[in-house]
Amino acid sequence: MVTRLGFLASGEGTNFQAIIDHLKLGILSGCKAEVLISNVKGAGVVKRGEKEGIRVEVIPYETREVFERKVNSILEEEEVDLLLLAGFNRILSKEFVEHWKGKCLNIHPSLLPSFGGLGYYGLRVHEEVLNSRCLVSGCTVHYVTEDVDMGPILTQAALKTFDSDPRTLQRKINLLEHLTYPKAIQMHVDGLVSIEEIRNREEVSEWENVWEERQEEYLEKRRDEWERVWGEKLEVVLCKYVIR
């Protein structure tokens, strides 16, 4: 059975692109991108979706009730099994979240529960991390619940914050997100995690070893970008500064 993916996005769409790239390379398996919905006409993610040839729908945000009704109609029409929030800039209603309970994921640019919740988005997250003198930051993929950024965690990845300003840290974590979101999707698709439980640690560790080997192809294709942002060889970055 193929898991049908739907996306809700508002911005540039780099996480959307990373997921699509993992699908095209065959790293992310057992699922298929069906539809991208955005509330922002002309957003970068819309252009990416059109280029990739998947269904793209732009729904102006009039009221939350009207918007969510239209979104649900499209998702049901495409028989979407898993909804992915990828830089979506609106808070979803309790009713919408309950409807998609256990079938909706989000990624956040910090190690939740720290630096999460209402008001923590964009550059502010990284400013607060550095102002708090945290030595480590990262990203978290979690199931979406009524409590913003507080749903059950699927997986996290971390990096050392040394010698970073907020914008540099943001770029570094964005690259880390591109590895972490596809991993979380595969964990869900493979039944390794659900909103109720995560399999035993030993089983997850074995799965992660296989996943990292599969993901090497994607990393190699992004080598230049990683080395430009970090200023060091990819192998050095992964060995010294990144915890996946």
Q: Hey, which residues are catalytic here?
A: 108
State the Cα angle at 18 between 48 and 193, rounded to 5°: 130
Dump strand ranges (E) for 123-193.
Answer: 136-143, 153-160
Q: How far, in Å, CA of 12 to CA of 99, rounded?
A: 27
Strand order in the sheet with 3-9: 55-58, 31-38, 3-9, 82-85, 104-108, 136-143, 153-160, 242-243
For residues 209 and 52, is the Cβ–Cβ distance under 8 A? Answer: no
Cβ count near 17 (within 10 Å)? 18
Per the CB < 8 A criterion, the answer to whether 86 and 122 are in contact is no
Q: Are 16 and 85 in contact (CB under 8 A)?
A: no
Q: Cα 32 from chain centroid?
A: 16
Cβ atoms 187, 193 nearer than 8 A = yes
- What whole-number distance in Å separates Cα of residue 20 and Cα of residue 14? 10
What distance in Å separates the CA atoms of residue 85 and residue 104, rounded to the nearest whole number?
7
